[in-house]
């Protein structure tokens, strides 16, 4: 893999549109001790114009192999990474024909400490310093986890597979559809259901140690869970109560059903933003989700109600302006104060 680096800035250019993805099948194995991960992906693409080059976003990844398949035909590619533009160029020996094709890539990366991309989050458990693996892809950091068309307008479905230590929780946007253990029982592989069509910045996964509290919405349709640090599940009960009241309220308000089968709300110890509205797996700073019933102030309760209501409102109805949700969240918060 050739790499081009330079100090000079380059003019921003969007990726070409002659090859676009329709589905990503991504498998990742994070190493929570070495702070690295390895991955493989198969991307189903539509080729609208024959080409020998495919451009996609990638940064801080080492792509060890790249190839494509179109029916029975196989194509190998060389890889050049432009660290300035954060673009990987796959150059094939022959042109890919118009139609459906599949790109196959293998790569490795780093669980960084920058709270972006696929990163490590430190926490303490039983007096020991440990690490979770967490994602934060908004606005353009999915490319730090897997090569992709990392532009919000280029949407696709996603099939995520995670291989993690057996004693760790692994979550993603969708529910688990299968789980298998390795022969030595040290690892487990979880396959998650296919997501709806969405942008790369909404993809998410979390690997760590958590407790949870759960409930279903009033129509019994949506399973809601609040994931807390181990031993602190009671601190998630207020956020859970707000969430199970909020989702049916939004469904009635907009006349649109929440399009996912579950909503996980996860407290992350190292988190740069207040929260992130990943579809089906909302990540929060701990202070924006957890409330100690014996110690938290009224202001903390207000803040949690506001943030939980806001993030849930941004999930399936994202075509509305963010400002609108801010004011709607304030209205919901007033309802919470009246009835909780």
Rounded Cα–Cα distance for residues 142 and 233 (Å):
30
Measuring CA to CA, which residue among 338, 328, 292 is closest to residue 308?
A: 328
Q: Are 118 and 40 in contact (CB under 8 A)?
A: no
Q: Are 222 and 262 in contact (CB under 8 A)?
A: yes
Rounded Cα–Cα distance for residues 27 and 5 (Å):
28
Backbone dihedral angles phi then psi of residue 142, each to the nearest 5 degrees: -60, -30
Rounded Cα–Cα distance for residues 48 and 20 (Å):
9
Rounded Cα–Cα distance for residues 336 and 340 (Å):
5
User: Nearest 5°: CA angle at 35, between 31 and 38?
Assistant: 50
209 is catalytic: no
DSSP states of 76-107: EEEEEEETTTTEEEEEEEEEEPSEEEEEEEEE
Catalytic residue from among 41, 251, 277, 311: 311
Rounded Cα–Cα distance for residues 331 and 325 (Å):
10
DSSP states of 245-282: HHHHHHHHHHT----SSEEEEEEESS-SSSEE--TTEE
DSSP bridge pairs for 78: 91
What residues are annotated to the active site?
Answer: 311
């Amino acid at each position: 893999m050739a790499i081009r680096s330079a100090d000079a800035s380059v003019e921003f250019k969007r990726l070409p549109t002659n090859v676009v993805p329709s589905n990503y099948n991504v498998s990742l194995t994070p190493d929570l001790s070495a702070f690295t991960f390895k991955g493989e992906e198969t991307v189903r693409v539509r080729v609208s114009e024959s080409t020998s080059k495919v451009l996609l976003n990638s940064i801080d990844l080492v792509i060890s192999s790249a190839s494509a398949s179109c029916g029975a035909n196989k194509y190998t590619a060389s890889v050049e990474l432009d660290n300035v533009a954060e673009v990987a160029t796959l150059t094939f020996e022959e042109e890919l024909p118009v139609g459906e094709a599949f790109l196959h890539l293998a790569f490795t990366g780093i669980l960084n400490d920058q709270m972006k991309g696929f990163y490590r989050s430190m926490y303490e458990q039983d007096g020991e310093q440990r690490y979770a693996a967490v994602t934060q892809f908004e606005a353009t950091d999915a490319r730090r986890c897997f090569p992709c068309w990392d532009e919000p307008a280029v949407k696709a479905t996603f099939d995520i597979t995670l291989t993690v230590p057996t004693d760790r929780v692994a979550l993603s946007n969708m529910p688990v559809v299968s789980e298998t253990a390795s022969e030595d029982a040290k690892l487990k592989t979880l396959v998650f259901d296919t997501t709806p069509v969405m942008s790369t910045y909404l993809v998410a996964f979390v690997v760590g140690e958590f407790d949870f509290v759960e409930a279903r919405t009033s129509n019994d349709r949506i399973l809601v869970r609040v994931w807390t640090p181990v031993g602190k599940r009671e601190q998630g009960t207020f956020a859970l109560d707000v969430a199970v009241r909020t989702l049916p309220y939004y469904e009635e308000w907009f006349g649109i059903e929440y399009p996912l089968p579950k909503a996980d709300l996860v407290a992350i110890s190292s988190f740069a933003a207040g929260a992130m509205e990943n579809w089906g797996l909302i990540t929060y700073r701990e202070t924006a989700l957890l409330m100690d019933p014996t110690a938290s102030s009224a202001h903390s309760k207000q803040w949690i109600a506001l943030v939980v209501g806001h993030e849930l409102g941004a999930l399936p109805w994202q075509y509305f302006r963010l400002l609108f949700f801010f004011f709607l969240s304030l209205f919901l918060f007033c309802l919470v104060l009246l009835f909780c």
